[in-house]
Amino acid sequence: MQVQKMSRFQKKYRLAIWGMLLFLICIVTSCGNKVEAPAYDEEVEPVENVSLLAVVCNIDDVNGKITLRQVGDEEERELTYTGGADVKNAYDEIMPISQVELGSIVDIVYDANRDKLESLHMNREQQIQKLEGIEGAVVDLLADTIVAGGKTYQMSGSVCAFSDNTEIGMDEICSEDKITLWLYNNIVYSVYVELGHGYVRLSDYASYIGGTVEIGYDVIVPVTEDMLLTVREGTYTLRIAKGEDAGTKEVTVIKNQETALSLADIAIEPKQMGSILFKVTPSDAAVYIDRRRVNTEGAVEIPFGKHKIHIIADGYESYSASFNVNYAYKVKEYTLKKEDEDSSENTSKNTSTTSSTSQREGSVATEAATQTTSESTTSGENGVKDVTTAEGTKTSNTVTVSAPAGASVYFDGEYLGIAPISFTKVTGSHIITLSQTGYLSKSYTVNFTDDGKDIPLQYDALISISSLIE
């Protein structure tokens, strides 16, 4: 009996031991599902470094990111960078990445697995050129070229432009800007605007209309109604002139801003005038004062000072002389001498003189007509504005600016009207400026050829000044 009791005890003991073991196994198994492997046991993928030649498009110091575009490729890459990145200038000296200029062509190495910049070096190869301080460059978007310093450079299909650390369109670069070009194998891959342009709106200049205004380095244009001049940023002496009258005034041009400049203090003073009543025999004789024909049916207003008079009529000897106006009113009588028709010598002389007289009259009249025509501004058919001051060849085609609607449109500084508007197509490189009250003015470079096509243009809406203040 005692042996049997011992046997039952052993069985109970063994069951208890097995139960405890099973309980411990369950605890260990459930806890094991929540335990993560230590970091030092993690398998790391091998690093893949990629080297390439690229254009610097953006540097974000706040978030530690740099955007690059591989030379010959339009795709951009955004890489992270840290203070440990190897950044050196062209002299192999360490430099902060914040000093790398946008548009620079650089050699980079980056970790393709992490999109992390490892090194950035300014390239010193001969194939890479940096042309600084270029003035008067002309961007031809039709031919994909830039004319600078008398040379023509081809632009890459992925060319990019920058101003104030922001990417801009190539058509936003004007000939008034001062720029830097980055080239690889003589092909332009990027443009950086060192000095941009602003705008000067003149007022109180009516007495100079028909003269010329000069401002900046290469802005010399005729004075017309409602002018808006595109000028490189900086401080200049504006010079405006008409005939012997001229005036100067200092003006400061701020990038992307419009400066209003009144010329009231240098306006041409009204000249003292004298009235002259010409009595000429024969009455149908043509009278020219300073090579301009005048109407002698009534008194003629002539400025004080010295002038020339020229009188011609068929069958009479012509008359020329100088006279001085220093009186308020005067009657001047002239009688032409009739040519002698009885003498053959005189007849020959008469024929010669008449022919000469007719030629002189035609020459003077033609010049006067030309001057009158040049001073007039006309509009073509169908409401097409005629461009009068731009350099180039006028074509039979038109340019239509349809947007932004309501903006004032200027062509090489000449006011054309309010968009939408159509105007004469003139060949060559020109600047279209858009202006509207309460908005920042904007200029675009255009290139036209005589290809028999009308040109439709639409531009982005102008930026509201109030949106910048907010």
210 located within any domain: yes
389-401 confidence digits (pLDDT tens): 788 899 999 999 9
Query: The domain containing residue 410 runs over which residues?
Result: 381-469
Residues 415 and 464 in one domain: yes
Tell me, yes or no, whether 337 lies in a domain: yes
**Same domain, yes or no, for 315 and 244?**
no
Tell me: do 365 and 402 sit in the same domain. Answer: no
Q: The domain spanning residue 341 has which CATH number?
A: 2.60.40
Domain-ending residue, one of 174, 195, 216: 195
- Per-residue confidence (pLDDT) for residue 16, from 0 to 100: 59
Is 66 found in the same domain as 23?
no
Helices H, strands E: what count in the chain? 3, 34
371 and 282, same domain (yes or no): yes
Residues 243 and 149 in one domain: no
Cβ pair 230, 433 in contact under 8 A: yes
Domain ends where: 148, 166, 195? 195
What's the mean pLDDT in 458-464?
92
- Confidence at 274, pLDDT banded by 50, 70, 90: confident
Are 17 and 55 contained in the same domain?
no
The residues with which 250 forms a beta bridge, in sequence order, are 237
State the pLDDT at residue 387: 87
Question: Does a structural domain hold residue 315?
Answer: yes
Whether 44 is covered by a domain: the verdict is: no
Whichever domain contains 423, its CATH number is: 2.60.40.1120
SS3 per-residue string spanning 78-101: EEECCCCCEEECCCCCECCHHHCC
**Each residue's pLDDT tens digit, 303-326:** 888 889 999 999 999 999 988 888
On whether residue 242 sits in a domain, the answer given is yes
| 445 in any annotated domain | yes
Q: Kindly tell me if the per-residue pLDDT of 1 is higher than 80.
A: no
Shared domain check, 323 and 299: yes
Predicted pLDDT at 359: 45
CB-based contact 67:55 (threshold 8 Å): no
Cα–chain center distance at 214: 17
Considering the domain architecture, whether residues 69 and 31 belong to the same structural domain is answered as no
What is the total count of domains within the chain? 6
User: Could you read off the pLDDT of 68-109 as tens digits, one per residue?
Assistant: 999 988 889 999 999 889 999 988 899 999 899 999 999 999
At 23 the pLDDT is 61
pLDDT tens per residue, range 426-447: 999 999 999 988 888 999 999 9
Instruction: Confirm whether 322 is domain-assigned.
Output: yes
**Residue 303 and residue 243 share a domain:** no
Co-location of 180 and 242 in the same domain: no
Question: Could you tell me if residue 72 is inside a domain?
Answer: yes
Q: How far, CA to CA in Å, does 241 sit from each of 23, 207, 223, 235, 278?
A: 106, 10, 9, 20, 32
Q: What is the pLDDT of residue 198?
A: 94
Residue located via tokens 């090489």: 412
In this structure, what CATH number is given to the domain that contains residue 169? 2.40.50.320
Q: Which of the listed residues 107, 122, 137 is the one where a domain comes to its end?
A: 122
Q: What is the pLDDT at residue 24?
A: 58
- pLDDT average, residue stretch 33-46: 47
Sheet holding 273-281, edge to edge: 300-303, 273-281, 329-335
Percent of the chain with pLDDT over 70: 80
**Residues 136 and 169 placed together within one structural domain of the fold:** yes
Place of tokens 């639409």: 458
